[in-house]
Structure 1
Amino acid sequence: MSDRVEIKPYDGPAGGWGSAKSLTEILLREQIPASGATLLMHQNKPDGYMCVSCAWAKPAKPAVFEYCENGAKATAWEVTRKRITSDFFAAHRVRDLESWRDYDLEELGRLTEPMRWDQASDTYRPVSWAEAFAEIGAELRALEPASTVFYASGRASLEASYMYAMLARLYGNNNLPDSSNMCHESTSVALPESIGSPVGTVQLEDFEHTDCILFFGQNPGSNAPRMLHPLQDASRRGVPIITFNPFRERGLERFTNPQSPAEMLTRSETRISSQYLQVKAGGDLAAIYGLCKALIATDDAAREAGRAGPIDQAFIAEHTHGFEAFAASVRSKGWDELERRSGLSRASLEQAAATYARAKATLGVYGMGLTQHRMGVETVQALMNLLLLRGNIGRPGAGICPVRGHSNVQGQRSVGITEKPELVPMDKLRALYGFEPPAEKGLNTVEACEGILDGSVRAFVALGGNFIRAVPETTLMEAAWRRLRLTVQISTKLNRNHLIHGEVSYILPCLGRIEIDKQDGRRQSVAMEDSTACIHGSRGYAEPAGPNLLSEPRIIAGIAKATLPPNERVDWDVWASDYASVRDAIEATYPDQFHNFNARMWKPGGFHRPIPASKREWKTQTGKANFVTPRGLSADPDTEQSDPDVLRLITMRSNDQFNTTIYGYDDRFRGVKGTRMVLFVSHADVARLRLRDGQTVDLVCAAQDGVARRVDGFLVLPFDIPAGCVGGYYPECNPLIPLWHHAERSKVPAAKSVPVRIVPRPTV
């Protein structure tokens, strides 16, 4: 919290002059007003660098300014002129740095040299790369492979990700959790059962052909602002955009394109959502059932009268399995229950269903508002059912579109970053590299946390990220983390995970994606995959932050050579010196997905990995698309409370952050300036609980499991959200989330519906 806190409603649109002002401010703050603006001209261009922020699709014909406010912030954050050196570490004990804010730690600038924690002085001290690799290798060799975790954050390139997965498997485990475990693993479990694909079926051009968009639990204004451009175009064509979200997010209400001089000068705005339904936290499953109920009832009546109804009976008969069981389940649910659980009226749901019924091609777009619930998998499958009812898979302008977060989190999975051995072509690895890949399932994020808590995990190697800040159960996790034998952080900036460390701890600073990467005098390029399964090449344009930085592939190779026995079929030095050779290895391992990889990686708009479901080829056990009937209507059944004072906490991001990276303490769209310790409370609950605007309160978790979870010092902000729901910022609210409070089948933390109580502080 800053010295000056201001709460004032923001009346402007998403984008517009507010976006332009924010961009100017961060370029100045990071001391790159001219060089940063020049660098941004290369962002998301076919021959440029891919944004290090979100994974939204990159067009084949980019705009002159093909970047958004948050993407520009991410670039400025990475290429800042600020530096953190050994002098800083020598002057600050780690225990003292623990009290610093997330923003202040990262705002120190780029890490410039490898460091090792010194127990006697409680400081990080410089270490040579050779010493660091040798010591890390010795530590890893002394441990049982099953006790080591190799975490990947989601930004690493396809090349680095492939090498990292190979390091883990040659070491002897599949302990490869990643940030997908915290967000879209529910998608990765749900969609293969429904349509035989772990990713969405939508391509960017489908937005040009759709005539209806159903939007669930995703905030493009803050999390993927470039997505607002196709949404704006669709709205202008008259495409209905029906939004289901507890908060009225500005990016889903109205937008001014900051790259349009005419719109900026006239301050014109485009309406985004045509119907905005403020569903309760955890109410999406019931809302989707309501839409299905209205459609099926209309179809039943039409068929009884001898007319064609809205259900695509021909598609269902030819391409699907399980329709009758699902339809029976839908018909059995009463409107009273659907209204109560969703928080929406029957009339609103029937209106939305009627709009959907008139559309010929519909996109189902969603984010973590669906996936981060106890029944997140079932909720995604319910949305899939809704699309299947009208055959909205496998035709232009239609399909399912999960919006991923980190810029290559989907791509990491495509090249082996997964704890699930069945998703990796182990036979190919065996043939290519002459070793027996580990067959045992590895640890996902929640399981890695459980292993750290019970002591079975002894080492944690992180390829980027701020794991300890991102996961639930903060208090217990930080205490257990200090008992780890080894922690290794491959990073560009200082964060809390460097300060909460193991007995032996290293910081290994790496080049960023935006920086020029030369290996043996040759400039290297990398590749990544966007949310629509398109692969893009990327080359850096900025000068490296320091002469002693190594690339991620070089660091991975250094750890591998120091840890693993020699393997004549795996030449780590060649891979680290020539990334094209890694792409050849990826192609050899995944020939159907990456054929002609090096030749195709610079195709404008990227080359699309084959998604059989988009061609109505169903790689499921039934050979068809499956209607999957959920067990119930509540997305969080085992945390429902009869006590009206127990509220459902929705954790969320601000306009001034990307995941755990905090760019500042303002949330322009929600009218908050100078703090992140805000609790958004419905007007009804403010009155019912006798709270006051601006009152300071504490939050406690209402789960009754014997663990005390508490975060103090929130300012109450009355807000337009459904009664019974409150909102607070991630990661500040993570200490309130029990580790066991996760999606039952995917183990994604159920961070969008956490049972909490508000504890008012006594008046003085």
Structure 2
Amino acid sequence: MKTRPATIKPYSGPVGGWGSAKSVAGIIAREHVPLKAPKLLSVQNKPEGYMCVSCAWAKPAQPHPLEFCENGAKATAWEITSRRADPAFFEKHTLSELELWPDHDLEEQGRLTHPMRWDAISDKYLPVGWAEAFDEIGRELGALDPHQVDLYTSGRASLEASYMYQLFARMYGSNNLPDSSNMCHESSSVALPESIGASVGTAILSDFENTDCIFYIAQNVGTSSPRLLHDLQDAVDRGVKIVTFNLLHERGLERFVNPQSPVQMLTGRETKISTEYYQVKNGGDIAALFGVCKALIEADDALKASGTSRVAGEDGKPKDPDNAAMVAFAASIASADKKHVLDHDFIKEHTAGYEEFALAARAHQWDELERVSGLSRDQMMKAAAIYAKSDAVLMVYGMGLTQHLMGVQNVHMVCNLALLRGNIGKPGANICAVRGHSNVQGQRTVGITEKPGLAPLDKLSELYGFEPPRWTGRSTVETCDAIINGQSRAFISLGGNFLKAVPETTAMEAGWRKLRLNVQIATKLNRSHVLHGEIAYLLPCLGRIEMDEQATGPQAVSIESSIAHFHGSRGKTKPVSATLLSEPAIVAGIAKATLGKTRVPWDAWVGNYAEIRDAIERTYPETFKDFNKRLFKPGGFARPLPARERKWVTQSGKANFITPGKLFPEFSTSGRTDVLHLATLRSNDQFNTTIYGYSDRFRGVEGTRRIVFMNGEDIVRLGFADGEIVDVTTAIDDNFVRKVTGLRIVSYNIAKGCCGAYFPETNPLFPLAHHDPKSKTPSYKLLPVRLSRSHATPDG
């Protein structure tokens, strides 16, 4: 473990440009792959190439010469590294020692090469044969009640492996299928079906070409999905207005230099991304969007009143429109015939619930909306004016909306705003939920879900001759509770770093040690592997970038992107070890050892992944029609979504305006002047729990992740100083102290009353019960905290 000097210096440059080029070159050199990496990156996200193992952003039919971003290049270099965490490495280190290592240092040891089993006597991982591992895992699972077993899936598993995994789980008798989607966009998966009858966003890439306005809400494009900047840049060049709502001023939403543009690279000419940038208070999104909706609705009312001298008031009763300013505003943004602001034809034909929503919008007072959102009335009305003057508006949002106590209602509000002017189901006007990991959306599409009503259980029963369990399984939060309380006895993980990604870290680690069986399928070492229960297996798998040779020859896998298109992916480099098995082979090995003889042709599937895709098509015939034929279609092939065609698969048969009951969650600490609202953040040197390095270039932080970003006025108001070391304590009264120590205050352009700190370092602050009640998504973007002077060092 190395000591890193920390420097904090404001960053004045753009996203992209020479900074990105230098960063990519740096990690390629650091991972000792100077010849291999450039060749592989040239086929990343290309037809017949491999799909990026990082973010889930769309793969265009006509790719750029280099169809990867800085983070995608880091993910590739990180996976094809020359380093190896082999048996010789594990012979040198006990797990008690490795527990003390930072996650970055664990993963930096390189690729896992051999299946390993924890040995209690030596406290080390020792090599084990695959057959022996499968046999013991099967015996242990056979001795447990399926209700006691949780089968987790990371967002990187392929469609083929995910389908096999959920089938194994259900044949075993368990619906406990928590996954990474539970922790990120589950609020979308709950809210969108209620609003528009689709479980995912409806936008496609061509919408970025046909839109004339983009509302960009709570997503940091420069860190989380930089390839999307190409689409935003092209839109800006066409004159499209981008209206951004975000807690922090993030460089990727401000300025961009395209590394693939010789003109921009040589001249330094920047593209300004956001036309308007509205800094919303943490948790103020509903209020901000309500303000925009209120302005639109009341302007429409004013136009109606101009012909009748009557307009609906906040109490629903008519009153005289004496507000000349509103009448003038309405006239300035109205349709060409000056008769309406809203799309009444669309509302009448396609929606339900408008009147209730409009009453609520009228009833909210501007001073209340300003206080909660952090925006002024003028800002919300200006956003409404831009929206009303645009014919096709694209709604783009990310986890800054979904990881909230009111995440489902946040997404409802995005839909409400879209529905007011019919901005869904037409070219350039749709909802784009930007997902995180590369197949986090796809694994749900093929059955990874704890909710039996979302899985085709009858079809699975027909195809494979078994009776699937019908009980509701555990989500991620419920799995954590079961581990803490000892109800879960076995945990199998298809990728990921569960212990670092979840809340309630201290209690979770204590519960983790009590598990009877812990099986981790992985490519690199992380904290979830070095903590253990009674029996622990570490099973190394092929990475997506590696060539996968099976009985019938080289294989391909498939993934689903953020825009619900399916893509084939073919590995292009030699595996790091001949001992590795593919994810499908490992799932099949565990399944056969656990279930014995079944109607599932596990071996045939492992020998030929095309047969798995045929099985997926038989299970989901409409979604995956001609799956194998279309696997490598340029640009992917689209998942059918009726909402794209204005067909609403909802109980009402229409798209629904759904009115949030309140603007902001209630905390026991509300009104306390010493409480700040914390949001967790990613740096541009990480992806989810994977920390590539200790650089957050765009925020000017180098050499450390032990940071708390604060508004300068809050620093002074609370009696602190920029650079001071503080402890952060959860300000929720539940008789349990949660504290993270030794964080350095950094003055930053963040909304007053709020602060930001890195995920997953501050996960220990989050109570398990602190989640959206419907989606159960942890509220990683909103937590009340207090700061106090620290006796710890910035290194913890």
How much has 1:744 moved relative to structure 2?
A: 1.3
1:720-752: CA deviation from partner (whole Å, max 9, x where unpaired): 111110100000000000000001110000011
Q: Distance in 2 between matches of 1:695 and 1:206?
A: 46
Aligned residue number for residue 503 of structure 2: 472
* Amino acid corresponding to residue 582 of structure 1 in structure 2: I
Is residue 566 of structure 1 aligned with residue 597 of structure 2? yes
Aligned residue number for residue 544 of structure 1: 575
How much has 1:692 moved relative to structure 2?
A: 1.1
SS at 2:511 equivalent: helix
How much has 1:521 moved relative to structure 2?
A: 5.4
Aligned residue number for residue 163 of structure 1: 164
CA contact (8 A) 1:321 1:626 kept: yes
Q: Distance in 2 between matches of 1:219 and 1:720?
A: 14
Aligned residue number for residue 139 of structure 2: 138
Aligned residue number for residue 455 of structure 2: 424
How much has 1:199 moved relative to structure 2?
A: 0.3
CA RMSD, aligned part only? 1.1
Q: Distance in 2 between matches of 1:734 and 1:617?
A: 40
Q: Distance in 2 between matches of 1:17 and 1:637?
A: 45
1:182-229: CA deviation from partner (whole Å, max 9, x where unpaired): 000000000001011000010011000000000111001010000000
CA contact (8 A) 1:49 1:514 kept: yes
1:390-416: CA deviation from partner (whole Å, max 9, x where unpaired): 000110000111000000000001100
Aligned residue number for residue 352 of structure 1: 383
Aligned residue number for residue 757 of structure 2: 728
* Amino acid corresponding to residue 507 of structure 1 in structure 2: L
Which residue among 664, 675, 697 is the counterpart of 1:646?
675
* Amino acid corresponding to residue 599 of structure 1 in structure 2: K
Aligned residue number for residue 353 of structure 2: 322
Tell me: CA distance 1:553–1:212, structure 2 relative to 1, closer, same or farther (3 Å): same
Is residue 486 of structure 1 aligned with residue 487 of structure 2? no
Is residue 282 of structure 1 aligned with residue 316 of structure 2? no
SS at 2:35 equivalent: helix
Q: Distance in 2 between matches of 1:466 and 1:15?
A: 29
CA contact (8 A) 2:669 2:732 kept: no
Q: Distance in 1 between matches of 2:47 and 2:557?
A: 13
Is residue 372 of structure 1 aligned with residue 373 of structure 2? no
Q: Distance in 1 between matches of 2:76 and 2:13?
A: 25
CA contact (8 A) 1:639 1:755 kept: no
Aligned residue number for residue 511 of structure 1: 542
Aligned residue number for residue 65 of structure 1: 66
Is residue 609 of structure 1 aligned with residue 635 of structure 2? no
SS at 1:508 equivalent: strand
Aligned residue number for residue 425 of structure 2: 394
CA contact (8 A) 1:524 1:578 kept: yes
User: Where in structure 1 are there 5+ consecutive unaligned residues?
Assistant: none
Q: Distance in 2 between matches of 1:759 and 1:221?
A: 32
How much has 1:690 moved relative to structure 2?
A: 1.5
What is the identity percentage for the equivalent residue pairs of Structure 1 and Structure 2? 60
CA contact (8 A) 1:2 1:675 kept: no
Q: Distance in 1 between matches of 2:145 and 2:703?
A: 47
Tell me: CA distance 1:763–1:371, structure 2 relative to 1, closer, same or farther (3 Å): closer
CA contact (8 A) 1:482 1:500 kept: yes
CA contact (8 A) 1:374 1:637 kept: no
SS at 1:298 equivalent: helix
Aligned residue number for residue 30 of structure 1: 31
How much has 1:639 moved relative to structure 2?
A: 5.6
Q: Distance in 2 between matches of 1:525 and 1:600?
A: 13
Give me the TM-score of the superposition, normalised by structure 2: 0.95
Which residue among 638, 647, 662 is the counterpart of 2:691?
662
* Amino acid corresponding to residue 755 of structure 1 in structure 2: P
Aligned residue number for residue 310 of structure 2: none
Aligned residue number for residue 253 of structure 1: 254
1:72-116: CA deviation from partner (whole Å, max 9, x where unpaired): 000001111111111111111101111111111101000000000
**1:573-652 to 2 correspondence within 5 Å?**
573-634=603-664, 636-638=665-667, 641-652=670-681
Q: Distance in 1 between matches of 2:287 and 2:792?
A: 40
Aligned residue number for residue 21 of structure 2: 20
Aligned residue number for residue 415 of structure 2: 384
Aligned residue number for residue 314 of structure 2: none
Aligned residue number for residue 438 of structure 2: 407
Is residue 744 of structure 1 aligned with residue 745 of structure 2? no
CA contact (8 A) 1:2 1:665 kept: no
* Amino acid corresponding to residue 698 of structure 1 in structure 2: D
1:210-249: CA deviation from partner (whole Å, max 9, x where unpaired): 0000011100101000000000111111111011101111
Q: Distance in 2 between matches of 1:201 and 1:305?
A: 37
Give me the TM-score of the superposition, normalised by structure 1: 0.99
How much has 1:762 moved relative to structure 2?
A: 6.5
1:20-71: CA deviation from partner (whole Å, max 9, x where unpaired): 0000000000101121011100100011000000000000000110000000
* Amino acid corresponding to residue 787 of structure 2 in structure 1: I
How much has 1:454 moved relative to structure 2?
A: 1.1
How much has 1:761 moved relative to structure 2?
A: 2.8
Aligned residue number for residue 471 of structure 2: 440
CA contact (8 A) 1:474 1:734 kept: yes
* Amino acid corresponding to residue 95 of structure 1 in structure 2: S
How much has 1:3 moved relative to structure 2?
A: 2.9
Aligned residue number for residue 267 of structure 2: 266
SS at 2:563 equivalent: coil
Aligned residue number for residue 114 of structure 2: 113
Is residue 362 of structure 1 aligned with residue 398 of structure 2? no
SS at 2:23 equivalent: helix
Is residue 712 of structure 1 aligned with residue 741 of structure 2? yes
SS at 1:205 equivalent: helix
CA contact (8 A) 2:87 2:126 kept: yes
Aligned residues: 762
CA contact (8 A) 2:742 2:792 kept: no
Tell me: CA distance 1:22–1:375, structure 2 relative to 1, closer, same or farther (3 Å): same
Aligned residue number for residue 79 of structure 1: 80
| Structure 1 stretches of 4+ moved >2 Å | 636-640, 761-764
Is residue 697 of structure 1 aligned with residue 737 of structure 2? no
Tell me: CA distance 1:296–1:475, structure 2 relative to 1, closer, same or farther (3 Å): same
Aligned residue number for residue 782 of structure 2: 753
* Amino acid corresponding to residue 771 of structure 2 in structure 1: H
CA contact (8 A) 2:741 2:792 kept: no
User: Where in structure 2 are there 5+ consecutive unaligned residues?
Assistant: 308-337
Q: Distance in 2 between matches of 1:36 and 1:718?
A: 37
Q: Distance in 1 between matches of 2:577 and 2:263?
A: 42
1:542-566: CA deviation from partner (whole Å, max 9, x where unpaired): 1101010000000000000000131
